[in-house]
Amino acid sequence: MTDREQTLELLVDAARRFTRDVLLPAETTVEETQEIPAHVVKGLQELGLFGMTIPEEYGGLGLSMFEEASVVFEIAYAQPAFRSYFGTTNGVGTLGIVNEGTEEQKRKYLPRLATGEMMASFCLTEPDSGSDSASLTTKAVRDGDHYVINGTKRFITNAIHAGVFTVFARTAPKEAGSRGISAFLVDRETPGITVAQPYKKMGFAGSHESDVIFENCRVPASAMLGTEGTGFRNAMMSLDHARLHMAAVATGLCARLLDEGTRYAMERKQFGQPIANFQMIQSMLAESQTELFAARAMVEKAAREKDAGHKTTKEAACCKYYATEAAGRIADRMLQVHGGNGYIKEYAIERLYRDARLLRIYEGSSQIMQLIVARELLREHA
């Protein structure tokens, strides 16, 4: 075993213990308060999880995709809001800076993001631009040495916490399509930014999503990320990574769901014996175990391919589609195993069932993932 492999093993073990000892006991508190407790945030910072994808030279852990997925499998065993709290700072909110940022931008933001001192948000989605990201209407108009940004962004995770926003705006006429979109790093204290109150949601308690409104928000030209017109490509590169990350989240949740159902089936007795003895219960457990195994194998293989430098747009979409849909099926089966008890809040499965539903929507819906897989497959055969 190499030194790097040993280090990863230690990090995964630490993440597993932190999840069991700290995150799981905090779940009901988060559900009741809609907040991540301070001691949990401190623990996430001490583990270095805000800087998983940030290079070591800027204070991060510099994990590979496989290493990142290995840690996420463990953290996502707890309800997804904990992962969401540091997720945007690792993924879509930071990867653009890592991939396209100038050295000045990297030095300004990455060290503080890596420690969790600052958080980042990714402002792409709009009220009328969701799956069709290229149709966004937020504008950034050049005015001397500055750009003036106007528009509204929707479903922005961690917006109320963010110190910097990666904002995608149109710098060319609509006719230019995706080639007319640019990305900007906008500091929270910039005049003209309004962050709305977080939405009240079906699940994901403790994860905060809000509208962010930009009204004559004036940023220096040096705030542009990359060059003019490359913002959409930047966003898609970040999303390829994020979808593999999200597949790892779904896989971790699958493991938790299956454990909840298996434990209940072994403890619950009907007709004088544990319901785990009944073949129809065993069938649901077996189906779920098979899907969990498949999801993890897919994520690990795609992560290794990404680390090897291969294009993984198709593979990331396959993983995100399969793992999140599997999480939905497993959540449904495990609630069924619980019977009526699965429908009351005394049992974790009720909460986890609601949490699992969002995974099939964000970072690209299941239907968009299917379209991406088909598009990439047809390109390969053209």
Residue 229, helix vs strand vs coil: coil
Angle between helices 81-90 and 38-46 (to 10 degrees): 50
The 10 Å CB-count burial string (b at 16+, else e) for 315-351 is: bbbbbbbbbbbbbbbbbbbbbebbeeebeeeebbbbb
226 token code pair: 């990359």
CA distance 361 to 78: 20
363 as an active site residue: the answer is yes
Selected catalytic residue, list 260, 300, 315, 363 = 363
The two beta strands, 139-143 and 146-157, are antiparallel
Helix (H) or strand (E) holding 200: none
Start-to-end CA span in the chain (Å): 42
Contact between residue 241 and residue 313 where contact means Cβ atoms under 8 Å apart? no
Rg (CA), the chain: 21
CA distance 350 to 341: 9
DSSP letter for each residue of 273-284: EEGGGSHHHHHH
Neighbours of 91 (CB within 10 A): 24
- Looking at the annotation, which residues are catalytic? 363
